[in-house]
């Protein structure tokens, strides 16, 4: 039984397209994974080409700070083990996320 040439050609093209998509996605993943490493190497070599950084998330920690009346909510006030009044879970932000990156 002979397969028509048109069906065979279509299958070959479809498989070639799948292979190309896999290769491209593999290359993109490799580029993403090595981006931080390449940036670190360039920075150490003195070739810091990055002038702006876009944050995807905000980073910070929750801390317990001395309580200030009128500034902190009364519901967050508690007496610490050392006898000082503290306010629990006050966020200290290190970096803020960029809302609309260019």
pLDDT digits (tens, 9 = 90+) for 24-80: 555 566 666 777 787 788 888 887 676 667 778 889 999 999 999 999 999 999 999
pLDDT of res. 26: 55
Q: What is the rounded distance in angstroms from the CA atom of residue 97 to the CA atom of residue 53?
A: 10
Residue 23 clears pLDDT 60, i.e. is over it: no
* Greatest extent of the chain over all pairs of C-alpha atoms, in Å: 91
Q: How many CB atoms lie within 10 A of CB 67?
A: 20
The DSSP string of 36-92 is: HHHHHHHHHTT---------SS-EEEEEEEE--BTTB-GGGEEE-TTS-EEEEEEEE
**For the chain, what are the domain ranges?**
1-51, 59-95
């Amino acid at each position: 039984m002979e397969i028509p040439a048109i069906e065979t050609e279509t299958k070959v093209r479809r498989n070639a397209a799948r292979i190309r998509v896999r290769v491209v996605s593999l290359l993109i993943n490799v580029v993403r994974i090595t981006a931080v490493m390449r940036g670190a190497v360039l920075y150490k070599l003195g070739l810091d080409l990055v002038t702006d950084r876009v944050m995807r998330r905000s980073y910070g920690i929750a801390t317990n700070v001395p309580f200030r009346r009128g500034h902190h909510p009364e519901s967050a006030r508690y007496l610490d083990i050392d006898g000082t009044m503290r306010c629990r879970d006050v966020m200290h932000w290190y970096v803020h996320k960029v809302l609309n990156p260019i």
